Each structure stands twice: as structure tokens, then as C-alpha cells.
Amino acid sequence: EADIYQTPRYLVIGTGKKITLECSQTMGHDKMYWYQQDPGMELHLIHYSYGVNSTEKGDLSSESTVSRIRTEHFPLTLESARPSHTSQYLCASSAIAGGRGEQFFGPGTRLTVL
């Protein structure tokens, strides 16, 4: 079944640790996105990719980095986690670029940095 997966679902970690949030999709989509979502707030685009070896920063400045070595895999890394990084991170993919096509979302990773 075509789907989009995120691991871990929940992560509690101390300040200064390096973390990688995993996102994989079996949708066959070229386009992938990372959003940050705080409670009661809108989603903010932090990274996107339109294909292998293509990554761009989104609207919301983020200290995280991403890579796109394989079409189906789009991991997000924080080199040194801080309490300000506490948030929910949602991964999405689409067949059509940008705002013209439906985006499919993973279940999210809720990150807490102590």
C-alpha cells in the first residue's frame, strides 16, 4: 500500500544531542516537504525537495538540515538539539510541485528537547 512513514513518532532528548527524523514514502513522488507545527498554530514549511540531490529551504528559518539521496527517503537532521526545537515535525510528499497538487502527510514526529 502506498504510504508515507515517519519515525520515531515521539522523541524526548536532551540539549546538545544530534538527532535525525526519518521520512520515507512509497507513493512514487518526486516532491517531498518538511513542515514544523506548534500547538494551535499553522504549519510552516522548513525544507522541500523536488528530486534526488535537490533541497531548498522553506519560509521558516530552521537550524535543521535535510538530504535527498534516494527518491523515497528525506531525513531531517538537527546537529545540536535545543529546547527551542521542541515541536511537531510533519513530512509530506506530492506528485506535483509546490501548491498546485495535493500533498500527502505522514503521521508526524513530536520532538521534545529538555
Partner 1 sequence: AQSVTQPDIHITVSEGASLELRCNYSYGATPYLFWYVQSPGQGLQLLLKYFSGDTLVQGIKGFEAEFKRSQSSFNLRKPSVHWSDAAEYFCAVGGYNKLIFGAGTRLAVHP
Residue from the set 55, 86, 95, 105 that interacts with partner 1 by CB under 8 A: 105
Residue from the set 8, 18, 107, 112 that interacts with partner 1 by CB under 8 A: 107
109-113 and 87-94 strand pairing: antiparallel
Give yes or no for residue 97 binding partner 1 (CB under 8 A): yes
Given a contact cutoff of 8 angstroms between Cβ atoms, the answer to whether 66 and 42 are in contact is no
Q: What phi, psi does 84 have (nearest 5°)?
A: -70, -15
Distances (CA, A) of 31 to 22, 34, 86: 16, 11, 26
Give yes or no for residue 60 binding partner 1 (CB under 8 A): no
Task: Looking at residues 15 to 54 of the shown chain, list those that interact with partner 1 (rule: CB under 8 A).
Answer: 40-43, 45, 48
Counting residues that bind partner 1 (by CB under 8 A) gives 26
Which CB sits closer to partner 1, 16 or 107?
107
Cα separation, 96 vs 54, in Å, equals 15
Question: Which stretches of the chain bind partner 1, using CB under 8 A?
Answer: 4, 6, 9, 40-43, 45, 48, 58-59, 90, 92, 97-108, 110
